[in-house]
Chains A and B, each alone.
Chain A
Amino acid sequence: MKAVVIGAGLGGLLAGAKLTKAGYDVEIFERLPFIGGRFTNLPYKGFKLSTGALHMIPHGSRGPLAQTLKEVGADVTIIDSQPMAVILKENNEIISFHDFRNELTLTKQVKLGTILAYSLKFKPKNDISFRDWVLKYFDDEFLLKLADSFCGWALSLTAKDVPAREMLEIIDNMYLYKGSGVPIGGCGAVTDALSQIIRSNGGRIYSQSCVEGISIENDLAKGVIVNGKTIEADIVISDIGHFGTSKLYECKDKEYLDKISNVKPSKGIKICLSSDEPLIGHSGVFFTPFAKRINGINEVTNADPSLAPPGKHLVMSHQAIISDDRKFEIDLGLLDLKQLFPGKKYKVLLIQSYSNGWPVNRASSGSDNGNKTPVRNLYIVGDGAKGKGGIEVEGVAIGVRNVMDEAGVC
């Protein structure tokens, strides 16, 4: 059996590794000169920055991505962050993430326990946003700020743009898998390990190779076209999102086209800092609910010093983009950093923003349209088709798992 994968991002590589392991002959085509998409390292002035995602795996060594890596035999070490996360309060006191409840009145603490237990079991079916859900039950300023900080950090959205249903799935997964962890060697170590597995299983990955079209007969995918040549396949997996994929063939399903055209990608800004001294001191998430724009920060060199030159720390902040003015958003982020670390000496290495054609997520969390297409044997993986309750790359792993189930690949 032959499989072709379009795009060598995390989703494409996970799918490729699964397929080669199941005995498929796999060919992966990547348009860019490097493998790994928005989940690999970006070498910059001696630092290992990242092309997209922060060097972090949301559910650490126990989550869906870590499980999938184990299943395919990818050699990646994930250091679980201890503490998992902390919160910087308005008065600059730092508390453990688990202690956020103590910031609420006793009545609200009791209510939170009950409402959360009920809502996790009976998830809201209507379209209520996570912000409205928090308002409805608690109307608490601290919780609203924390919700925005968490959604901004994890999903690059504000709480009003995340359906409560999706957020409760995420909370469920946080109880189940815990979080977060740093892959030793950064994002690149994960995608490199997957490439190695694919190649050692006989798969081939081609960079700077653009897929020009998908060949389809009677609503069945038959292969792809590269350099004018058709490469036949029994299954075609696309890691470039529903919309990008639909441009590669003549899609006549209007309902599907309408649905996928309405999906909004999520957008965010990552500011990479170099510092001689640690600014945070651990590798857990530093949530900043009271900053103007920055949602959270991590300092991955506490888990893996090799991500920076000797004696340096690599610190990355993340913020969702709120207005249409990217430069204004970056200015606010830089101002936040000044106020968060007064008197600290750090240097801004690189400011990276993501939106539109190269976003944080092709489909913002809660707006994913599943992995199927109107064409049989053509599936979508990656951040344009994440599984339920999956934060970022965890959602990518769940999506790949769903495709393998759907396609009957063990």
Chain B
Amino acid sequence: MKVSDDCVGCGQCAAYCPFDAITVFGRAAMNENCTECGKCTEYCPVCAISEA
């Protein structure tokens, strides 16, 4: 998944990620657990996540 500069770091994606694949520190970043399932895109309030 790709995270754009619009990400504010609210952590909603991390909380709803079924694979614990997102860490947040001022902005979201996917780790090696990411399966590209795309669940996070639904929960992003600023539409900052898209498929890589």
The residues of A that contact B12 with a CB separation of less than 8 Å are: 42, 51
Nearest chain A residue, comparing its CB with the CB of B26: A326
Contact with B along A362-403 (1 / 0, CB 8 A): 000000000000000000000000000000000000000000
**B contact residues around A356 at 8 Å (CB):** 6, 8, 46
- Residue from the set B12, B24, B26, B43 with the largest chain A CB neighbour count within 10 Å: B26
State whether the Cβ of B36 lies closer than 8 Å to any Cβ in chain A: no
Q: Known: A326-B27, A330-B25. Contact between A351 and B42, CB under 8 A? A: no
The answer to whether A351 and B15 have CB atoms under 8 Å apart is no
User: In the complex the two chains form, is B9's CB within 8 Å of A357's CB?
Assistant: no
Counting CB contacts under 8 A, is A358 at the interface? yes
A91 to B30, CA, bound (A): 42
| Known contacts A51-B12, A357-B6; A33 and B42 CB within 8 A of each other | yes
Tell me if B's interface is mostly helix, strand, loop or mixed.
loop
Of residues 5 through 27 on chain B, the ones whose CB sits less than 8 Å from some CB of chain A are 6, 8-12, 14-15, 24-27
Q: At the interface, yes or no: A353 with Cβ under 8 Å from chain B?
A: yes
How far does the Cβ of A150 sit from chain B's closest Cβ, in whole Å? 24
How many residues of chain B are within 8 Å of chain A by beta carbon? 16
* Given A208-B42, A357-B46, A358-B46, A352:B25 Cβ within 8 A: no
Alpha-carbon gap, A350 to B20, bound state (A): 12
Distance, CA A42 to CA B14, complexed state (A): 10
- A7–chain B nearest beta-carbon distance, Å: 11
Which residues does chain B contribute within 8 Å of A52, judged by CB atoms? 10
- Is A49 interfacial (CB-CB < 8 Å)? yes
Does B46 contact A42, Cβ atoms closer than 8 Å? no
Chain A residues whose C-beta falls within 8 Å of the C-beta of B11 in the assembled complex:
42, 49, 350-352
Residues of A within 8 A of B38 (CB): none
Q: Are B25 and A351 in contact (CB under 8 A)?
A: yes
Which residues of chain A come closer than 8 Å to B26, judged between CB atoms?
326-327, 329-330, 351, 353
Chain A contact-residue range equals 20 to 34
B46–A350 touching, CB < 8 Å: no
Assembled-state Cα–Cα distance A44/B25 (Å):
16
Residues of B within 8 A of A329 (CB): 26
Check B9 against A326 for contact (C-beta < 8 Å): yes
Q: Does A350 lie within 8 Å of B43, measured CB to CB?
A: no
Q: Check B8 against A32 for contact (C-beta < 8 Å).
A: no
List of B residues within 8 angstroms of A330 by Cβ: 25-26
Separation of A52 and B8 alpha carbons in the complex (Å): 12
Query: Considering the complex, which residues of chain A in the window 326-361 have a beta carbon less than 8 Å from any beta carbon of chain B?
Result: 326-327, 329-330, 350-359
Q: Which residue of A lies closest to B5 (CB)?
A: A356
| Given known A-B contacts A326-B27, A330-B25, A33 and B43 have beta carbons under 8 A apart | yes
- CB of A309 closer than 8 Å to a CB of B: no
- B14 & A350 in contact (Cβ 8 Å cutoff): yes
**A residues whose Cβ falls under 8 Å from a Cβ of B:** 32-34, 42-44, 49, 51-52, 208, 326-327, 329-330, 350-359
Besides A326-B27, A357-B6, 20 other A-B contacts (C-beta < 8 A): A32-B43, A33-B43, A42-B15, A44-B14, A49-B11, A49-B15, A51-B10, A51-B12, A326-B26, A330-B25, A352-B9, A352-B10, A352-B11, A353-B8, A354-B8, A357-B8, A357-B45, A357-B46, A358-B10, A358-B46
**What are the 3 A-B residue pairs with the smallest beta carbon separation, nearest first?**
A326-B26, A353-B9, A357-B46
Pairs across A and B, CB under 8 Å, 26 listed:
A32-B45, A33-B43, A34-B43, A42-B11, A42-B15, A44-B15, A49-B11, A49-B15, A51-B10, A51-B12, A52-B10, A326-B9, A350-B14, A350-B24, A351-B24, A351-B25, A352-B9, A352-B11, A352-B24, A353-B8, A353-B26, A354-B10, A356-B46, A357-B45, A358-B45, A358-B46
